[in-house]
Amino acid sequence: MNVLEMFRMAFSSLLTNKLRSFLTMLGILIGVASIIAIVAIGNGGKAAVLGAIANQNLQDTIEIIPSELVAPGLPQPGQVLSIDDEDFSIAQSFQGVSQVNYTIYGTSTVSTSSRTANVSIEAGPSDLDDLARFTVIEGHMFQTPDVIAHRKVAVLSTSLAAKLFGNGNPIGATVMVQGTPLQVIGVAQSQEANLFSLFLGSDYLYMPATTCRDLYPNWGISEMDVQIEPGANRDQLAKRIVTALNIHAGNAGAFEDSSGFLAGIAGTVQKVTTILTIVIGAIAGIALLVGGVGVMNIMLVSVTERTQEIGIRMSLGATRGAILLQFLIESMTITTIGGLAGILLGSGVGVAVSVVTGVPTYVSWPISVLSFLFSAVIGVICGLYPANKAARLDPIDALRYE
Protein backbone atom coordinates (compact mmCIF):
# COMPACT_ATOMS: atom_id res chain seq x y z
CA MET A 1 0.00 0.00 0.00
CA ASN A 2 1.37 3.33 -0.92
CA VAL A 3 2.28 6.30 1.25
CA LEU A 4 -0.52 8.50 -0.05
CA GLU A 5 -3.02 5.93 1.18
CA MET A 6 -1.33 5.94 4.54
CA PHE A 7 -1.62 9.72 4.79
CA ARG A 8 -5.28 9.48 3.91
CA MET A 9 -5.73 6.88 6.62
CA ALA A 10 -3.81 8.97 9.12
CA PHE A 11 -5.99 11.97 8.37
CA SER A 12 -9.24 10.14 8.90
CA SER A 13 -7.87 8.58 12.05
CA LEU A 14 -6.90 12.00 13.41
CA LEU A 15 -10.27 13.42 12.40
CA THR A 16 -12.10 10.89 14.55
CA ASN A 17 -10.48 12.47 17.59
CA LYS A 18 -10.46 16.11 16.56
CA LEU A 19 -10.07 17.79 19.92
CA ARG A 20 -7.30 15.49 21.04
CA SER A 21 -5.46 15.83 17.74
CA PHE A 22 -5.75 19.60 17.95
CA LEU A 23 -4.50 19.79 21.52
CA THR A 24 -1.58 17.56 20.64
CA MET A 25 -0.79 19.76 17.68
CA LEU A 26 -0.89 22.86 19.85
CA GLY A 27 2.49 22.19 21.43
CA ILE A 28 4.20 21.98 18.05
CA LEU A 29 2.13 24.86 16.70
CA ILE A 30 3.15 27.23 19.48
CA GLY A 31 6.80 26.20 19.29
CA VAL A 32 7.02 26.74 15.53
CA ALA A 33 4.95 29.93 15.63
CA SER A 34 7.26 31.49 18.21
CA ILE A 35 10.34 30.56 16.20
CA ILE A 36 8.89 32.03 13.00
CA ALA A 37 7.65 35.19 14.72
CA ILE A 38 10.87 35.78 16.64
CA VAL A 39 13.03 35.36 13.59
CA ALA A 40 10.72 37.58 11.51
CA ILE A 41 10.75 40.35 14.08
CA GLY A 42 14.48 40.00 14.69
CA ASN A 43 15.28 40.10 10.97
CA GLY A 44 12.96 43.05 10.47
CA GLY A 45 14.53 45.05 13.28
CA LYS A 46 18.01 44.20 12.09
CA ALA A 47 17.17 45.14 8.50
CA ALA A 48 15.65 48.43 9.65
CA VAL A 49 18.77 49.42 11.60
CA LEU A 50 21.17 48.24 8.92
CA GLY A 51 19.10 49.91 6.21
CA ALA A 52 19.19 53.19 8.08
CA ILE A 53 22.95 52.89 8.41
CA ALA A 54 23.41 51.97 4.76
CA ASN A 55 21.28 54.97 3.85
CA GLN A 56 23.83 57.24 5.56
CA ASN A 57 26.70 55.60 3.86
CA LEU A 58 27.48 56.25 0.23
CA GLN A 59 29.66 54.19 -2.00
CA ASP A 60 31.40 57.09 -3.70
CA THR A 61 31.80 59.28 -0.63
CA ILE A 62 34.13 59.07 2.32
CA GLU A 63 32.78 60.91 5.34
CA ILE A 64 35.59 61.95 7.65
CA ILE A 65 34.85 63.34 11.11
CA PRO A 66 37.01 64.42 14.06
CA SER A 67 37.03 61.36 16.30
CA GLU A 68 36.00 62.62 19.70
CA LEU A 69 32.94 64.33 18.34
CA VAL A 70 31.20 61.02 18.32
CA ALA A 71 31.82 60.75 22.08
CA PRO A 72 30.48 64.00 23.46
CA GLY A 73 32.03 65.55 26.54
CA LEU A 74 34.71 68.04 27.40
CA PRO A 75 37.31 68.63 24.70
CA GLN A 76 40.34 66.40 25.11
CA PRO A 77 43.86 67.69 24.62
CA GLY A 78 44.77 67.32 20.96
CA GLN A 79 41.14 67.02 19.92
CA VAL A 80 40.25 68.53 16.58
CA LEU A 81 37.29 70.88 17.08
CA SER A 82 36.80 71.91 13.51
CA ILE A 83 38.10 70.71 10.19
CA ASP A 84 40.16 73.49 8.60
CA ASP A 85 41.24 74.46 5.11
CA GLU A 86 44.61 72.70 5.44
CA ASP A 87 42.80 69.44 6.14
CA PHE A 88 40.73 69.94 3.03
CA SER A 89 43.77 70.49 0.84
CA ILE A 90 45.44 67.35 2.29
CA ALA A 91 42.41 65.29 1.35
CA GLN A 92 42.17 66.99 -2.03
CA SER A 93 45.79 66.09 -2.84
CA PHE A 94 45.13 62.33 -2.95
CA GLN A 95 44.82 60.65 -6.27
CA GLY A 96 41.34 59.27 -6.82
CA VAL A 97 39.70 62.12 -4.94
CA SER A 98 37.49 64.17 -7.20
CA GLN A 99 36.13 66.74 -4.81
CA VAL A 100 36.13 67.60 -1.13
CA ASN A 101 33.08 69.16 0.43
CA TYR A 102 32.08 69.78 3.97
CA THR A 103 28.89 69.53 5.90
CA ILE A 104 28.05 71.61 8.93
CA TYR A 105 25.57 70.37 11.48
CA GLY A 106 23.95 72.48 14.15
CA THR A 107 20.76 73.30 15.91
CA SER A 108 19.12 76.67 16.02
CA THR A 109 15.76 78.35 15.73
CA VAL A 110 13.95 79.55 12.67
CA SER A 111 10.99 81.89 12.53
CA THR A 112 8.45 83.51 10.28
CA SER A 113 6.55 86.65 11.17
CA SER A 114 4.17 84.59 13.29
CA ARG A 115 5.86 81.32 14.24
CA THR A 116 9.12 79.97 15.59
CA ALA A 117 10.52 76.43 15.56
CA ASN A 118 13.64 74.59 16.69
CA VAL A 119 15.52 73.04 13.80
CA SER A 120 18.47 70.90 12.96
CA ILE A 121 20.50 72.74 10.37
CA GLU A 122 22.46 70.77 7.82
CA ALA A 123 24.58 72.85 5.51
CA GLY A 124 26.55 71.43 2.70
CA PRO A 125 27.54 71.47 -0.92
CA SER A 126 25.04 71.56 -3.71
CA ASP A 127 25.17 67.82 -4.19
CA LEU A 128 23.50 67.16 -0.82
CA ASP A 129 20.46 66.14 -2.79
CA ASP A 130 22.38 63.39 -4.49
CA LEU A 131 22.28 61.59 -1.18
CA ALA A 132 19.70 58.88 -1.07
CA ARG A 133 18.15 60.38 2.02
CA PHE A 134 16.95 63.50 0.21
CA THR A 135 13.79 63.62 -1.80
CA VAL A 136 12.87 67.14 -2.87
CA ILE A 137 9.15 67.15 -3.39
CA GLU A 138 8.51 70.85 -4.09
CA GLY A 139 10.74 73.54 -5.58
CA HIS A 140 14.38 72.49 -5.93
CA MET A 141 17.61 72.02 -4.02
CA PHE A 142 20.21 74.81 -3.96
CA GLN A 143 22.78 74.56 -6.75
CA THR A 144 26.53 75.05 -7.01
CA PRO A 145 26.17 78.75 -7.96
CA ASP A 146 24.13 79.25 -4.77
CA VAL A 147 27.02 77.80 -2.78
CA ILE A 148 29.65 79.86 -4.56
CA ALA A 149 27.59 83.04 -4.21
CA HIS A 150 26.80 82.51 -0.52
CA ARG A 151 23.14 82.87 -1.46
CA LYS A 152 20.59 83.24 1.33
CA VAL A 153 18.35 80.33 0.40
CA ALA A 154 16.96 77.39 2.37
CA VAL A 155 15.24 74.06 1.84
CA LEU A 156 12.82 72.93 4.57
CA SER A 157 11.85 69.43 5.54
CA THR A 158 8.13 68.71 5.12
CA SER A 159 7.47 68.62 8.85
CA LEU A 160 9.26 71.94 9.38
CA ALA A 161 7.38 73.51 6.48
CA ALA A 162 4.11 72.34 8.00
CA LYS A 163 5.08 73.83 11.38
CA LEU A 164 5.98 77.20 9.94
CA PHE A 165 3.46 77.59 7.15
CA GLY A 166 0.64 75.14 7.92
CA ASN A 167 -1.05 74.33 4.65
CA GLY A 168 0.27 77.46 2.94
CA ASN A 169 2.85 77.32 0.17
CA PRO A 170 6.33 77.95 1.61
CA ILE A 171 8.10 78.28 -1.74
CA GLY A 172 9.26 81.85 -2.21
CA ALA A 173 8.46 82.79 1.39
CA THR A 174 11.07 84.17 3.75
CA VAL A 175 12.23 82.64 7.03
CA MET A 176 14.46 84.32 9.60
CA VAL A 177 17.58 82.50 10.76
CA GLN A 178 20.08 84.21 13.05
CA GLY A 179 18.45 87.56 12.18
CA THR A 180 18.97 87.02 8.47
CA PRO A 181 16.14 86.42 5.99
CA LEU A 182 16.49 83.24 3.88
CA GLN A 183 14.32 82.55 0.88
CA VAL A 184 12.67 79.13 0.85
CA ILE A 185 13.39 77.48 -2.50
CA GLY A 186 12.37 73.87 -1.82
CA VAL A 187 10.76 71.33 0.46
CA ALA A 188 12.32 67.90 1.06
CA GLN A 189 10.59 64.84 2.44
CA SER A 190 11.15 64.44 6.19
CA GLN A 191 12.96 61.26 7.08
CA GLU A 192 10.14 59.71 9.03
CA ALA A 193 10.87 56.20 7.89
CA ASN A 194 14.46 56.50 8.97
CA LEU A 195 15.46 55.21 12.38
CA PHE A 196 17.78 58.16 12.91
CA SER A 197 14.83 60.52 12.79
CA LEU A 198 13.72 58.89 16.03
CA PHE A 199 16.75 60.40 17.73
CA LEU A 200 17.40 63.47 15.65
CA GLY A 201 13.88 64.65 14.97
CA SER A 202 12.56 65.38 11.53
CA ASP A 203 12.57 69.20 11.44
CA TYR A 204 15.45 70.01 9.13
CA LEU A 205 16.64 73.11 7.36
CA TYR A 206 19.21 72.78 4.59
CA MET A 207 21.29 75.69 3.33
CA PRO A 208 24.52 76.20 1.38
CA ALA A 209 27.60 75.58 3.52
CA THR A 210 29.04 78.99 2.63
CA THR A 211 25.88 80.74 3.81
CA CYS A 212 25.97 78.78 7.01
CA ARG A 213 29.54 79.86 7.73
CA ASP A 214 28.46 83.48 7.23
CA LEU A 215 25.58 83.05 9.68
CA TYR A 216 27.38 80.90 12.25
CA PRO A 217 31.10 81.65 12.03
CA ASN A 218 31.67 79.86 15.35
CA TRP A 219 30.26 76.51 14.30
CA GLY A 220 32.97 73.99 13.68
CA ILE A 221 33.03 72.06 10.47
CA SER A 222 32.30 68.61 11.74
CA GLU A 223 32.32 66.54 8.57
CA MET A 224 34.41 66.32 5.47
CA ASP A 225 32.80 64.65 2.46
CA VAL A 226 35.44 63.29 0.14
CA GLN A 227 34.03 62.40 -3.25
CA ILE A 228 36.03 59.71 -4.96
CA GLU A 229 36.43 58.96 -8.60
CA PRO A 230 34.70 55.90 -10.02
CA GLY A 231 36.93 52.86 -9.77
CA ALA A 232 39.00 54.13 -6.85
CA ASN A 233 39.36 51.79 -3.88
CA ARG A 234 37.14 53.49 -1.34
CA ASP A 235 38.26 51.75 1.86
CA GLN A 236 41.95 51.95 1.06
CA LEU A 237 41.69 55.61 0.13
CA ALA A 238 39.75 56.37 3.30
CA LYS A 239 42.49 54.78 5.42
CA ARG A 240 45.26 56.70 3.71
CA ILE A 241 43.48 60.05 3.97
CA VAL A 242 42.63 59.52 7.65
CA THR A 243 46.25 58.59 8.36
CA ALA A 244 47.53 61.70 6.58
CA LEU A 245 45.07 63.91 8.47
CA ASN A 246 46.08 62.34 11.77
CA ILE A 247 49.75 62.98 11.05
CA HIS A 248 48.92 66.58 10.26
CA ALA A 249 46.98 66.96 13.50
CA GLY A 250 49.77 65.25 15.44
CA ASN A 251 47.29 62.85 17.00
CA ALA A 252 46.95 59.28 15.79
CA GLY A 253 43.27 59.21 16.69
CA ALA A 254 42.22 62.67 15.58
CA PHE A 255 40.07 61.69 12.62
CA GLU A 256 38.06 58.74 11.59
CA ASP A 257 36.06 57.44 8.68
CA SER A 258 32.52 57.83 9.96
CA SER A 259 31.31 55.13 7.67
CA GLY A 260 33.72 52.90 9.59
CA PHE A 261 32.06 54.06 12.76
CA LEU A 262 28.67 53.21 11.28
CA ALA A 263 29.99 49.88 10.06
CA GLY A 264 31.02 49.21 13.65
CA ILE A 265 27.50 49.94 14.84
CA ALA A 266 26.16 47.74 12.07
CA GLY A 267 28.45 44.92 13.17
CA THR A 268 27.32 45.27 16.77
CA VAL A 269 23.68 45.30 15.75
CA GLN A 270 24.28 42.18 13.66
CA LYS A 271 25.96 40.42 16.56
CA VAL A 272 23.39 41.39 19.17
CA THR A 273 20.42 40.43 17.04
CA THR A 274 22.06 37.17 16.03
CA ILE A 275 22.75 36.24 19.65
CA LEU A 276 19.23 37.25 20.68
CA THR A 277 17.75 35.23 17.85
CA ILE A 278 19.80 32.19 18.81
CA VAL A 279 18.90 32.42 22.49
CA ILE A 280 15.19 32.95 21.94
CA GLY A 281 15.24 30.39 19.15
CA ALA A 282 16.74 27.86 21.54
CA ILE A 283 13.97 28.53 24.04
CA ALA A 284 11.40 28.07 21.29
CA GLY A 285 13.21 24.88 20.28
CA ILE A 286 12.79 23.57 23.81
CA ALA A 287 9.09 24.43 23.59
CA LEU A 288 9.00 22.42 20.38
CA LEU A 289 10.67 19.49 22.10
CA VAL A 290 8.11 19.62 24.90
CA GLY A 291 5.43 19.59 22.21
CA GLY A 292 7.12 16.52 20.76
CA VAL A 293 6.98 14.75 24.12
CA GLY A 294 3.25 15.51 24.17
CA VAL A 295 2.92 13.91 20.77
CA MET A 296 4.78 10.81 21.94
CA ASN A 297 2.56 10.57 25.01
CA ILE A 298 -0.64 10.76 22.97
CA MET A 299 0.67 8.27 20.45
CA LEU A 300 1.39 5.81 23.27
CA VAL A 301 -2.15 6.27 24.58
CA SER A 302 -3.46 5.82 21.08
CA VAL A 303 -1.54 2.59 20.54
CA THR A 304 -2.88 1.16 23.78
CA GLU A 305 -6.43 2.23 22.99
CA ARG A 306 -6.24 0.74 19.55
CA THR A 307 -4.57 -2.54 20.44
CA GLN A 308 -7.51 -4.55 19.20
CA GLU A 309 -7.66 -2.48 16.01
CA ILE A 310 -4.02 -3.39 15.44
CA GLY A 311 -4.85 -7.07 15.98
CA ILE A 312 -7.72 -6.86 13.49
CA ARG A 313 -5.52 -5.14 10.93
CA MET A 314 -2.90 -7.85 11.36
CA SER A 315 -5.53 -10.55 10.89
CA LEU A 316 -6.48 -8.84 7.63
CA GLY A 317 -2.91 -9.03 6.41
CA ALA A 318 -1.23 -5.87 7.66
CA THR A 319 2.50 -6.44 7.98
CA ARG A 320 4.45 -5.09 10.92
CA GLY A 321 5.92 -2.56 8.55
CA ALA A 322 2.46 -1.35 7.58
CA ILE A 323 1.46 -0.93 11.24
CA LEU A 324 4.73 0.85 12.03
CA LEU A 325 4.27 3.20 9.11
CA GLN A 326 0.65 3.84 10.01
CA PHE A 327 1.52 5.19 13.46
CA LEU A 328 4.64 6.98 12.28
CA ILE A 329 2.64 8.78 9.63
CA GLU A 330 -0.07 9.64 12.13
CA SER A 331 2.43 11.23 14.45
CA MET A 332 4.15 12.93 11.54
CA THR A 333 0.83 14.25 10.29
CA ILE A 334 0.10 15.77 13.69
CA THR A 335 3.45 17.51 13.88
CA THR A 336 3.62 18.67 10.27
CA ILE A 337 0.10 20.11 10.36
CA GLY A 338 1.03 21.71 13.67
CA GLY A 339 4.20 22.99 12.04
CA LEU A 340 2.38 24.41 9.02
CA ALA A 341 -0.21 26.08 11.24
CA GLY A 342 2.65 27.40 13.36
CA ILE A 343 4.33 28.91 10.31
CA LEU A 344 1.08 30.63 9.35
CA LEU A 345 0.43 31.83 12.89
CA GLY A 346 4.01 32.99 13.39
CA SER A 347 3.95 34.90 10.09
CA GLY A 348 0.64 36.42 11.14
CA VAL A 349 2.12 37.54 14.44
CA GLY A 350 5.07 39.01 12.55
CA VAL A 351 2.77 40.98 10.26
CA ALA A 352 0.69 42.13 13.21
CA VAL A 353 3.79 43.33 15.07
CA SER A 354 4.92 45.17 11.95
CA VAL A 355 1.53 46.87 11.61
CA VAL A 356 1.42 47.87 15.27
CA THR A 357 5.02 49.04 15.73
CA GLY A 358 5.77 50.23 12.22
CA VAL A 359 9.05 48.30 12.22
CA PRO A 360 9.02 45.95 9.22
CA THR A 361 9.23 42.19 9.85
CA TYR A 362 10.61 39.62 7.47
CA VAL A 363 9.38 36.05 7.56
CA SER A 364 12.41 33.96 6.74
CA TRP A 365 11.82 31.34 4.07
CA PRO A 366 14.74 29.14 5.04
CA ILE A 367 13.61 29.18 8.67
CA SER A 368 10.04 28.37 7.61
CA VAL A 369 11.16 25.43 5.50
CA LEU A 370 13.51 24.33 8.27
CA SER A 371 10.78 24.51 10.93
CA PHE A 372 8.50 22.52 8.69
CA LEU A 373 11.12 19.82 8.17
CA PHE A 374 12.03 19.92 11.84
CA SER A 375 8.42 19.38 12.90
CA ALA A 376 8.21 16.44 10.50
CA VAL A 377 11.40 15.02 12.02
CA ILE A 378 10.00 15.49 15.53
CA GLY A 379 6.94 13.58 14.40
CA VAL A 380 9.09 10.71 13.23
CA ILE A 381 11.31 10.68 16.31
CA CYS A 382 8.43 10.94 18.77
CA GLY A 383 6.32 8.48 16.81
CA LEU A 384 9.05 5.89 16.51
CA TYR A 385 8.75 4.36 19.97
CA PRO A 386 4.92 4.14 20.04
CA ALA A 387 4.78 2.91 16.43
CA ASN A 388 7.38 0.26 17.12
CA LYS A 389 5.42 -0.80 20.18
CA ALA A 390 2.35 -1.20 17.99
CA ALA A 391 4.16 -3.09 15.26
CA ARG A 392 5.69 -5.57 17.70
CA LEU A 393 2.36 -6.61 19.15
CA ASP A 394 1.57 -10.26 18.80
CA PRO A 395 -1.47 -10.58 16.49
CA ILE A 396 -3.32 -12.91 18.83
CA ASP A 397 -2.61 -10.93 22.00
CA ALA A 398 -3.70 -7.78 20.22
CA LEU A 399 -6.85 -9.40 18.87
CA ARG A 400 -7.84 -10.72 22.30
CA TYR A 401 -7.11 -7.41 24.01
CA GLU A 402 -10.25 -5.91 25.53
Partner 1 sequence: MIELRQVVKRYANGADTLTVLKGIDLRIEDGEFVSIMGPSGSGKSTLMHIMGLLDAPSSGTYVFDGQDTSALSKPQLARMRNQSIGFVFQNFHLLPRMNAVRNVELPMLYGGIGRGERRSRALELLGQVGLHERAFHWPSALSGGQKQRVAIARALANNPRLILADEPTGALDQKTGREIMELLQRLNAAGTTIAIITHDPNVAAVANRTIHIVDGVIVDEVHAP
Report the SS3 class of residue 58: coil
Span near partner 1 by CB under 8 A; candidates 1-9, 49-57, 105-113, 370-378: 1-9
Q: Residues 26, 322, 351, 381: which binds partner 1 (CB under 8 A)?
A: 322
- Cβ–Cβ < 8 Å for 238, 259: yes
Q: Which amino acid is at 350?
A: G
- 274/315 with CB nearer partner 1: 315
Is 318 a binding residue for partner 1 by CB under 8 A? The answer is: yes
Q: Is 301 in the site for partner 1 (CB under 8 A)?
A: no
Instruction: Say whether residue 18 binds partner 1 (CB under 8 A).
Output: no
- Number of residues in contact with partner 1, rule: CB under 8 A? 23
Residue of 25, 91, 209, 314 that binds partner 1 (CB under 8 A): 314
CB of 26 to partner 1, least distance (A): 22
**Residue 300 Cβ, how far from partner 1 at the closest point, in Å?**
19
Residue 309 CB, shortest distance to partner 1, in Å, is 6
Q: Binder to partner 1 among 13, 211, 277, 371 (CB under 8 A)?
A: 13
Distance in angstroms (rounded) separating the CA atoms of residues 166 and 175: 14
Do the Cβ atoms of 104 and 265 come closer than 8 Å? no
CA neighbours within 13 Å on the CB side: how many for 163?
19
Report residue 394: phi and psi, to 5°.
-80, 130
End-to-end CA distance of the chain: 28
In angstroms, give the least distance from the CB of 31 to partner 1: 29
Q: How near is the Cβ of 16 to partner 1 at its closest, in Å?
A: 5
Q: How far apart are CA 347 and CA 342, in angstroms?
A: 8
Residue in 93, 178, 315, 357 binding partner 1, rule: CB under 8 A: 315
Single out the residue of 3, 16, 19, 365 in contact with partner 1 (rule: CB under 8 A).
16
326 interacts with partner 1 by CB under 8 A: no
State yes or no: residue 319 binds partner 1 (CB under 8 A): yes
Task: Give the span between the Cα atoms of 130 and 128, in whole angstroms.
Answer: 5
In 3-state terms the chain splits into helix, strand, coil percentages (rounded to 5) of 60, 15, 25
Question: Which residues fall within 8 angstroms of residue 205, CB to CB, at 6 or more apart?
Answer: 110, 119, 120, 121, 122, 154, 155, 156, 157, 160, 175, 177
Strands (E), 30-189: 61-66, 97-111, 116-124, 136-139, 153-157, 174-177, 180-188
State which of residues 321, 355, 356, 366 lies at the interface with partner 1 (CB under 8 A): 321
Q: Which of 3, 12, 85, 167 binds partner 1 (CB under 8 A)?
A: 12
In this chain, which of 151, 163, 313, 389 binds partner 1, going by CB under 8 A? 313
- Find the shortest distance in angstroms from Cβ 1 to partner 1: 5
User: How far is residue 20's CA from residue 305's CA, in Å, rounded to a whole number?
Assistant: 13
Task: Name the residues that contact partner 1, by CB under 8 A.
Answer: 1-2, 5, 9, 12-13, 16, 308-309, 312-322, 395-396, 399
